[in-house]
A and B are shown apart, each in its own frame.
Chain A
Amino acid sequence: MRTDVNAFLGAYPFRRVPRTSPEAVLAAMDRTKIDEAWVSHLPSVFWRDPAAGNAWLYEASSRYPRLKPVPAVHPGLPGWEDVLAEAASRAVPAVRCDPTFYGLDPMGSEMRVLAAACGTTRVPLLLAVRFEDARQRHPRDTSPELPAAAVRALLRADGDVRLVVTHAGREFVEEVHFGSTPDEAARVWWDIAWIWGPPEDHLATLLTTVGAERFVFGTGQPLRIPEASAAKLDLLDLDAGLRAAIDSGNAAKLGT
């Protein structure tokens, strides 16, 4: 069993990305032996109202049960509580918020209130550090990357909130993990999409220092080829239990 917690549907505004339809993402999942994917609606990350993409996302995932919707919540817009309530009623694996792309302070009051609401409703909150390498972003793609300080602040904002952070590299993970109490650090999960394998061995190091229970399988597809995340696990000498935990077990526990 393998669950990709970091997948997208729909076009990317800053470069041509092929195969963004649900059917194409499912084909890529088949190719890389991914059973389920948590999918976000990529175009609406850049819309004034990101939640306007949720209806399409719910409809697409209803047609394809292997795709689990991760709807967007913008805590600066009126009615965001209803968006979160609908997500909770649909038993989604997580909701997402991309504050720097929405023009929100990533550690401001709206985000802290959203974190608390996610804690209350027991819906994990998914945050992306970035979508692309900073060196290749479009000249008009100027939203800052999510700072590690924001993740620490949100973990401290509510004792029940659980965060899934995608596209973080080694330094980011270490800064949050070792800058948090054990209780706080136990409420954040990291996808492996942006963590380097050999010869730098960042992932191998983090599995030892931070703990394998904190990591979940994620790819960032179709912005990135999903083979990259599978390859970095294949290059590790993981026993079957640890591999299964990262492939899907840790993500499954997030919903409990």
Chain B
Amino acid sequence: MLIDVHAHFYHERTPRADWRERNTSRLRAGDKIGITIHVASVLGTWGRTSPIYFPSPTDVTAGNDALLALARVHPDRVRGYACVNPNHTDHAREEIARCVAGGMVGIKLAASRRADDPLLDPICAIARERRLPVLHHVWQHRRRDWPGQEASDAVELCRLAGRHPDVHLILAHIGGGGDWEHSLRAVRGTANVFVDLSGSGADGGMLEACLEAVGPGRLLWGCDLTMDTGLAKLRYLERLLRPDELELVTWRNAARIFPPGAFPAD
């Protein structure tokens, strides 16, 4: 079994005219790679009517609706994170409840608010109640602010994790840009933070450093926007790890932190 914990899909209310092709391409590449389940999120309208990382409540709902619909079409292959904007607490609460009722298995926080902001506490409280992992968009060592997002880094995510030790937090895309060595130093001692291996970065030494920092028990395989680097990391890990360790990274860790029954063999 192979679970991609960091996938995205598009829909008709996004700026991309090629949204169907991209969705089809992800599923087709997933078949080639051997992905059993794509755990995906949709960030609102991907910038069409509100910013990607600051989606309006209306767009959050539209994106989640699109993902729920896709999961109904592909119940054997697609699971969802409920994407919410923590600046709208009541809407976020309602949206998580609605999406979980529809079958979603996690919460996605983009970069609408810093990870250590108190507004994330009510989200984490719901995550704890419902045993949902929280995938948090992270900039690997943010040295300055970037336009269009209020990106967090691992230090901030670990502060949140410290306030919510019973919630499983996923540090997004360690290969997604920035100084991954900084992130690995930060998360080393925080047991409830898992590292998602996705991202276009496939640096020599990165996977060894991930293993050295948190061990195979806190790594999660994923792709994000580049499935070729996902496949490359999978192949590299096959040579780096024992079969039982590899299973942790490819699905057992995910099966442990997502709700019971989220995945076929679970």
Contact = CB atoms under 8 A, between A and B. Distances in A.
Interface of A: 15-19, 31, 132-133, 135-136, 139, 196-201, 221-225, 227-228, 230-232, 234-235
A136 B204 contact: no
Contacts of B232: 225, 227-228, 230-231
Interface string B165-181: 00000000000011111
7 contacts: A135-B139, A199-B23, A201-B25, A225-B202, A228-B228, A230-B232, A231-B229
Nearest to A169: B200
Nearest to B201: A133
Contacts of B228: 196-198, 228, 231-232, 235
Contacts of A133: 177, 200-201
A199 B201 contact: no
Given A230-B232, A231-B235, A235-B228, A225 B204 contact: yes
B37 interface: no
Contacts of B179: 136
Nearest to A227: B232
A199 B235 contact: no
A177 to B, nearest CB: 20
B233 interface: yes
A234 B31 CA distance: 13
B140 A136 contact: yes
B204 A235 contact: no
Most buried by A among B22, B225, B226: B226
Interface in B174-193: 177-181
A199 B22 contact: yes
Contacts of A230: 232
A19 B235 contact: no
B242 to A, nearest CB: 17
A45 to B, nearest CB: 16
Interface string B230-256: 011101100100000000000000000
A227 B227 CA distance: 12
Contacts of A18: 204-205, 208
A236 B236 CA distance: 19
A224 B208 contact: no
Interface of B: 21-23, 25-26, 28-29, 32-33, 139-140, 143, 177-181, 200-205, 207-208, 225-229, 231-233, 235-236, 239
B200 A31 contact: no
Contacts of B227: 197-199, 235
Nearest to A223: B204
B239 A224 contact: no
A197 B233 CA distance: 14
Contact of A224 (B21, B29, B177, B202): B202
Given A15-B205, A135-B177, A227-B233, 8 more contacts: A17-B205, A136-B201, A198-B25, A198-B29, A199-B29, A200-B225, A225-B233, A235-B227
A182 to B, nearest CB: 27
A197 B25 CA distance: 10
Contacts of A222: 204
Given A224-B203, A228-B229, A234-B231, A198 B178 contact: no
B229 A199 contact: no
Most buried by B among A197, A199, A224: A199
A196 B223 CA distance: 12
B25 A199 contact: yes
Nearest to B209: A16
Most buried by B among A201, A222, A228, A234: A228
Given A15-B181, A221-B204, A225-B202, A199 B231 contact: no
Contacts of A231: 228-229, 231-232, 235
A197 B228 CA distance: 5
Given A31-B239, A136-B180, A232-B228, A198 B208 contact: no
A19 B226 CA distance: 25
Contacts of A199: 22-23, 25-26, 29, 225, 227
Contacts of A16: 205
Contacts of A15: 181, 205
A232 B204 CA distance: 17
A176 B70 CA distance: 38
Contacts of B235: 227, 231
